[in-house]
A and B are shown apart, each in its own frame.
Chain A
């Protein structure tokens, strides 16, 4: 039998509240504040341009850039440049990613591949891949191949590193669990290691998309007639700064679109997190 204590009363009025000390250190992004800030900056920029505070040659107003984009769009030049860049990025990224995922998994799963692979990756990863473009032109000619190969190389190393880091980060207890149930090697890779490494792999995709964008612009600036990089360089040479900045805006939109695509992939594939 439980001996129940009587209900306690507060007793007296000489009390004061305990001071709250737990505020702060929980930053969160407001839903509209980023857009409001962007619009405000554009408005100030436009005002500065319209009022003649800054030279239109050195910094065209947002309206001039928008007009340049519109003209490019209706002339068809925009699509021509963008489609060449997308073809180069897409092909280079897919080749680099496929090779990077294969090599990354090999390094993550095999002692031999790790011993050899990490040495090569450590030695070659720091080289700015654009520096290899002249050599690749010598090897592959002056067509699309050297540009695509430059992008693929840039993507390959980052992908391989993010994949084997992801494989290394899969909790070992999950692998031991699967082994304790006699789950075969291929099923452990498919059902435990692949999903476990996926967060790191997708984070790698985010980085390699930026690397690919950087390399395509650089490669197109060095040796291409069409493509956003070539367009930006030509506009700069002709002092057409509105068109130059139009190219920069298009690159920014492209980067944002890729980021959104990866966000969607993460939401779909990593919903369990």
Chain B
């Protein structure tokens, strides 16, 4: 009961603060593998927050926890002062209508063309006329440079184009929170520059909050207000990109400067290389 009161008090306080998302004492494991243990993290309203970390640290899993596609074993996540674990399905869907999410692979609906993919949330949640939907969709497609691809099917798009269409779809409902899962992967330099500027411009012009998961330290540094480096299930470091670049921690330096040697091993745990090559372990 005491714990529950603590959650409620915390969420009420959060709803009035500048913190949009609060994660406290989060624990999540998959089978025997613990992915997060006592993770604490705050995402401030109106900022672009980057979540970075070595592969396999669970960055995408964290996004799925924030959007309650997954449920943590312990701890809680408050969005806008609401503990999302207490929401029923209708309330959860109402909350998700305020989210836009760009999936790592785009996740476009393969039986709909580009135009209909972007129009999908509008057709499902609004009663806008076809004329107005057309106007909104073409505006969003123009913003990502793909107005001319409106009639193409997802199978005809390159990976980068699919991601840009998915970005147009993520922002078509003018969400409060935009979540980007690896938005810069597979983009050519021109598209990447446009998308980076678009992320920044949308965040500032529309006053939304953005969460970016990315390995791309250089691009993230140009766009993020605050970065969290996640390692071993916890926040290893946080701060502005400049602060992370200047950090003394070996782990932070290894990640930010892409060094092979450091606390994070490049090689997965394996038997002795020479012995394995010579086949002694199989005898």
- The finding on whether chains A and B are genuine partners in a shared complex, rather than unrelated, reads no
